[in-house]
């Protein structure tokens, strides 16, 4: 323990050097900007920053990218909660309860809960990262494709059960999302699926187009139908940045702990990342939380669970990166590239040869979270003030962000038309009370589930029982199936009781 603390102190001394600290602040601000703008994903932002690190020494380079990674998991909450426009998939679960809170005039409270959740989840994960990095990395290393598929299936099943009063509508929406995700060229066999000879469909339909169109444009179309006459919000001038009290936070201590633990565990699984952690944490809260029946109506638990998990996944994802050289997410894959560009191979030996660099990275996580929360606290009120603008102007801003995001995905004008189509689909789903969330979830997680399923089938000779005979995947598969079946049984029992 003394050695770890001594090394961490050395890491802090590197981070607080003027140049390194300035780089950290720049990285936090860039991460916040990237996360706010739909179309610029966290991974894309880290990739764009990588060339600027070529002429840096390794420590400021790693600090810059790590700071962007941390803040990129947080700032998307602003647009999700205020405008119902998620910056990227991580932020989708945040809007399910955050946006209803904003519409009820509780935008400042919702952003306050997001800030506290990001701070708590990030700090718990950072401490875990420092103390338990090697043992957790060894456990995660035993995971293979059956476990990945089981984790993703559990995430799909958990959110489908939250699809609203109609499970059938949720399943229809989910399967529509999975169908959309299957458009394009099959990664395993190279077969064309549902392309109809249209070149743009050969590359598939980007999840960003579906996500931004269905949520962003769909909401604008709904407001257009209502004549932009939504109920008046609380006067912005009276809104104060409101952090939850200690008593309020203690009331949600289980949600904080559950979300942080989920984020850390999922973060250590290579390839899972913050998106799976965020969705899974929301689903778990909806299944086992004290107020699970109120999830989706605008309660703090629906914000705390996914935000804790998303930020905590950063610390979790860094563990396999530094101890085994295995990136736990897309962003850490870019950071791995930065290590290699500077002639450093992460792995067990790096703690012996270059521990000062690794512990500088660990220290930058702690300091980055504090700087991110400080900037987030003071930026909250200006962001809330935007709600005071006329709804037509806000809607125009949303449309502009949606169009920029769609074009940035592949620099193709056809994507703009696709996004408009998905905006109409989102509007129709909302109009006829079909949940949008399962569709978006299917588009995001569908390809991951397919890849891991097909790889498992090929690797194990088409033996599907492998999902149940491996201990970890078997447990996850059973839990996923129970999660899917339980709402059916509950609905059947409720219907029978109503008839009686």
Do residues 81 and 107 make contact, with C-beta atoms less than 8 angstroms apart? Answer: yes
For the cut 50, the answer to whether the pLDDT of residue 233 exceeds it is no
Higher-confidence residue of 167 and 420: namely 420
pLDDT of residue 240: 57
pLDDT of residue 161: 56
Range with lowest mean pLDDT among 39-43, 226-230, 330-334: 39-43
Average pLDDT across the chain, whole number: 78
For the cut 50, the answer to whether the pLDDT of residue 184 exceeds it is yes
For the cut 80, the answer to whether the pLDDT of residue 363 exceeds it is yes
Question: Minimal CA–CA distance to 21: which of 342, 364, 311, 359?
Answer: 364
Higher-confidence residue of 386 and 58: namely 58
Structure tokens given for 241: 């940045």
Average pLDDT over residues 471-489: 81
Burial of 500: CB neighbours in 10 Å, binned 0-12, 13-18, 19+: exposed
Q: Could you report the per-residue pLDDT of 277-301, keeping only the tens digit for each?
A: 888 888 888 878 788 778 778 888 8
Range with lowest mean pLDDT among 77-86, 218-227, 280-289: 77-86
User: Which range is most confident: 169-173, 264-268, 405-409?
Assistant: 169-173
Higher-confidence residue of 420 and 294: namely 420
For the cut 60, the answer to whether the pLDDT of residue 387 exceeds it is no
Burial state string for 444-470 with b = 16 or more CB within 10 A and e = fewer than 16:
bbbbbbbbbbbbbbeebeeeeebbeeb
Average pLDDT over residues 2-25: 84
- In terms of phi and psi (left: phi > 0; alpha: psi -120 to 50; beta: otherwise), the region of 239 is beta
pLDDT of residue 249: 83
For the cut 70, the answer to whether the pLDDT of residue 220 exceeds it is yes
Average pLDDT over residues 119-136: 81
For the cut 80, the answer to whether the pLDDT of residue 344 exceeds it is no
pLDDT of residue 277: 80
For the cut 60, the answer to whether the pLDDT of residue 32 exceeds it is yes
pLDDT band at 479 (very low <50, low <70, confident <90, very high): confident
Range with lowest mean pLDDT among 62-76, 130-144, 400-414, 465-479: 130-144
pLDDT band at 405 (very low <50, low <70, confident <90, very high): low
Do residues 316 and 266 make contact, with C-beta atoms less than 8 angstroms apart? Answer: yes
User: How far is Cα 161 from Cα 168, in angstroms, rounded to an integer?
Assistant: 10
pLDDT of residue 236: 47
């Amino acid at each position: 323990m003394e050695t770890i603390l001594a090394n961490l102190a050395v890491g802090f001394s590197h981070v607080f050097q003027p140049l390194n600290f300035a780089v950290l602040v720049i990285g936090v601000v860039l991460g916040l900007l990237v996360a706010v703008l739909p179309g610029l994903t966290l991974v894309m932002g880290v990739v764009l920053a990588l060339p600027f690190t070529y002429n840096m020494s390794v420590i400021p380079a790693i600090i810059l990218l790590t700071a962007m990674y941390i803040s990129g998991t947080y700032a998307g909450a602003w647009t999700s909660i205020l405008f119902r426009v998620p910056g990227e998939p991580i932020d989708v679960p945040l809007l399910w309860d955050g946006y209803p809170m904003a519409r009820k005039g509780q935008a400042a409270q919702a952003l306050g809960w997001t800030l506290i959740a990001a701070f708590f989840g990030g700090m718990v994960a950072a401490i875990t990262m420092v103390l338990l990095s090697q043992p957790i990395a060894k456990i995660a290393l035993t995971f293979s494709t059956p476990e990945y598929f089981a984790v993703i299936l559990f995430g799909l099943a958990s959110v489908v059960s939250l699809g609203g009063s109609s499970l059938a509508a949720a399943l229809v929406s989910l399967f529509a999302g999975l169908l959309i995700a299957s458009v394009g060229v099959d990664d395993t066999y190279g077969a064309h699926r549902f392309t109809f000879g249209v070149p743009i469909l050969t590359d598939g339909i980007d999840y960003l187009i579906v996500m931004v169109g269905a949520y962003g444009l769909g909401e604008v179309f709904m407001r257009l139908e209502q004549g932009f006459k939504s109920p008046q919000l609380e006067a912005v001038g009276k809104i104060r940045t409101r952090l939850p009290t200690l008593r309020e936070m203690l009331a949600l201590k289980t949600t904080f702990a559950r979300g942080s633990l989920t984020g850390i565990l999922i973060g250590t699984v290579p390839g899972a990342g913050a998106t799976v952690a965020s969705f899974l944490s929301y689903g778990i809260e909806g299944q086992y939380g004290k107020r699970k029946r109120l999830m989706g109506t605008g309660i703090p638990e629906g914000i705390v669970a996914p935000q804790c998990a998303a930020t905590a996944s950063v610390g979790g994802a860094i563990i396999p990166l530094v101890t085994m050289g295995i990136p736990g997410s897309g962003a850490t894959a870019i950071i791995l590239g930065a290590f290699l560009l500077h002639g450093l191979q992460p792995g067990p030996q790096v703690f012996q040869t270059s521990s000062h660099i690794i512990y500088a990275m660990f220290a930058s996580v702690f300091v980055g979270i504090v700087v991110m929360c400080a900037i987030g606290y003071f930026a909250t009120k200006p962001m809330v003030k935007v709600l005071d603008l006329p709804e037509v102007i806000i809607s125009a801003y949303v449309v502009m962000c949606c169009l920029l995001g769609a074009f940035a995905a592949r620099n193709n004008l056809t994507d703009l038309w696709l996004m408009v189509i998905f905006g109409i689909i989102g509007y129709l789903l909302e109009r006829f009370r079909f949940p949008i969330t399962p569709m978006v979830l299917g588009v995001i997680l569908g390809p991951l589930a397919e890849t891991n399923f097909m790889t498992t089938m090929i690797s194990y000779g088409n033996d599907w029982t492998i999902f149940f005979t491996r201990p970890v995947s078997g447990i996850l598969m059973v839990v996923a199936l129970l999660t899917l079946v339980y709402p059916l049984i509950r609905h059947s029992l409720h219907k029978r009781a109503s008839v009686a």
